[in-house]
Chain A
């Protein structure tokens, strides 16, 4: 009794992969701009500082390619780029941790606040991971449920999204704590994403068929908050000495304008996960939207 509503082109799995590419691209853009700005500020003191810029550019290109590619198969080069991205992000995180530990005082708030952020390289990892997952999902024959390590890809992706939301929220929390939550809006990215993470955990573990209208809505709101965050950060820059007239200084020192949309990127991946779950209920009928 399967399949009346499929067989349009592109294939549904490819559609879901498309969403993942968009999420990954969003993250990559955020990383590209953010790490670009931060590492320009750091004067590319260490040559390794160009790596995130190059990797995110490559990821972005792969996402674009994946997006226009209508074949229901994975692509070797793209897959390789995404894998490389994951590795780069992990190396970056390790490097930033090493930098923190070698400072006087080691693991203390001062060093967590003012060293290379732990969350930023993790965002690179995530964008690569979403890309990898997209490749996996699209590589599934049209009628079968996409699986990752034998588990329903929708569930895996939901779990990954939940973790990513928590991690990114933790990063925002650390930096907003550093900013003493001086503006009440600074509480949004430490409250909305964890709630979304809880919902996504529910999606990852709960009944696949059970359709929640609230979870996608909350993800959309969380994604919108990411965009709004950019607006808030633009305003934040205006509050530094000289405001936007002094942008060459304030844009570097103020709140990072490109950072908040990483929430949007993850929310997009979350929506893709939900679409997968809806499309492949483990115990019943497919309902491709």
Chain B
């Protein structure tokens, strides 16, 4: 791997190597730019460093202190933020879905949220690139939305939990399909095919899973980029001319300064606004790129409620990736009394996670918990991914408390909105019907759960109403960019990572074009 010196002024210094930063690093390096990508986390090697052990793999999570408040404080950590080269995708659930095209214009077409400054047809092109890069295994034809090309790899064999989703969906007259997943169903390069052991959300020690870590990062390195792990960015420096000059970062027990011509923030929806806010100067008293006051605003998560039940037959839902089948029925149905959409997928929580659900959602404890855990192999469930509407009351600000680096920690304020609650109730009702249709017994709902994050540095059409433009370039500082899940104006009813990658790929192409026209 190429290594730069601190006083080398690289073309792009990217903070964060997840779905946004990692992808962008790969593509920018391939476009011929000099690139350094920092990550606060470690550069893991799946075959050597990953254990099939739920507790050991907590090393992948961002567990630094954060303050969470609001009416429904978010639970931070493994569910929504990673700290590793490759970002949250190292332990993501591999579900790789495209947005419904109308969501890019949800304000004008569907009457809620905000429009994106992006065109869905252009995104369709970049989705394809991302799917090819990750060799997504998906169904031969996808039942919803405009026609898309065939997935590069075939769908995986559906496990019994996935088949039970299918049975339920068929009983309700809904379509279902195999979930497009970022784990290979046949060999690819150094990745062997998936062995269906179900540790996907704890890092895949087989290396079958395709994440930023084993796709874009190696491509970035091959194209000459430097990946600097264990490097925590604390502050972006800006000069008097109003341009970013580089980044202060903490590594090996000391602070350093790396020079750069362009700085890209890709730390995801909490760390991105935090860094921008923490980089305030007298000229930018409210933080960088924040003339709109929107940095940290419109924090979104996705509703992740579930319905569980028990079958008489063995299910063994832990076998294989957890979400092998999906129905996007309610993402494409507009005949409903709430805004936004949702999908649901088959489930396969591992034992510790299941114990948490049992204690949390059902309040089981002691002997009752022990007895119920014995039914683990008969358990079945459906979990939604639902759209949460953007709301200014949900936001990331800075708390006065400081972390191990002496940086102010983020305060994360979140409450479900009225529309969110109606959507969740609707989904729980529908999932319950599906569970009843397959003859599940002792059905119960897990009402409190949320997962993916988005928002906090939204893209838009004007400096007053957004933080960055369609190219992820900040309106205020021409050489400061944000490229990750925080640029989402709305979050849609599907998991976000493929959209984040598509945005990063588009941004890289736009940067190349702008460089050619002398517009950087």
Contacts and interface: CB of A to CB of B under 8 A. Distances in A.
Determine if chain A interacts with chain B: yes
Interface of A: 103-105, 109-110, 113-114, 177-180, 182-183, 236, 239-242, 249, 253
Contacts of A180: 152-154, 185-186
A92 B495 CA distance: 42
B195 A253 contact: yes
B188 interface: yes
> Which of B140, B166, B187, B208 has the most chain A CB atoms closer than 10 A to its own CB?
B187
Interface in B14-38: none
Chain A: interface secondary structure? loop
Contact of A178 (B152, B185, B195): B185
Contacts of B170: 104-105
B158 A110 contact: yes
> Which of A105, A109, A179, A249 has the most chain B CB atoms closer than 10 A to its own CB?
A105
11 contacts: A109-B154, A110-B139, A178-B185, A178-B186, A179-B186, A180-B153, A180-B154, A182-B187, A239-B193, A240-B193, A241-B206
Interface string B121-145: 0000000000000000001100000
Given A241-B208, A242-B192, 14 more contacts: A105-B176, A109-B140, A110-B139, A110-B178, A114-B157, A114-B158, A179-B154, A180-B154, A236-B187, A239-B192, A239-B193, A240-B195, A241-B193, A241-B206
Contacts, number: 56
Nearest to B205: A241
Contacts of A103: 163
A179 B139 CA distance: 13
Contacts of B192: 239-242
A28 to B, nearest CB: 28
Please give me the 4 A-B residue pairs with the lowest Cβ-Cβ distance, nearest first: A104-B166, A239-B187, A114-B157, A179-B186
A105 B171 CA distance: 11
Contacts of A113: 154-155, 157
Contacts of A109: 139-140, 154-155
Interface in B191-214: 192-193, 195, 206, 208
A109 B188 CA distance: 21
A105 B195 CA distance: 24
Nearest to B168: A104
Nearest to A103: B163
Nearest to B137: A180
B426 interface: no
A105 B166 contact: yes
Contacts of B157: 110, 113-114
B470 to A, nearest CB: 34
Nearest to A240: B192
B133 to A, nearest CB: 15
B167 interface: yes
B154 A178 contact: yes
Contacts of A105: 166, 170, 176
Contacts of B195: 240-241, 249, 253
Contacts of B140: 109
A113 B185 CA distance: 12
Interface string B160-184: 0001001100100000101000000
Nearest to B192: A241
Contact of B155 (A104, A110, A249): A110
A205 B186 CA distance: 41
B154 A104 contact: no
Interface in B91-144: 139-140
A186 B426 CA distance: 47
A103 B155 CA distance: 16
A114 B159 CA distance: 11
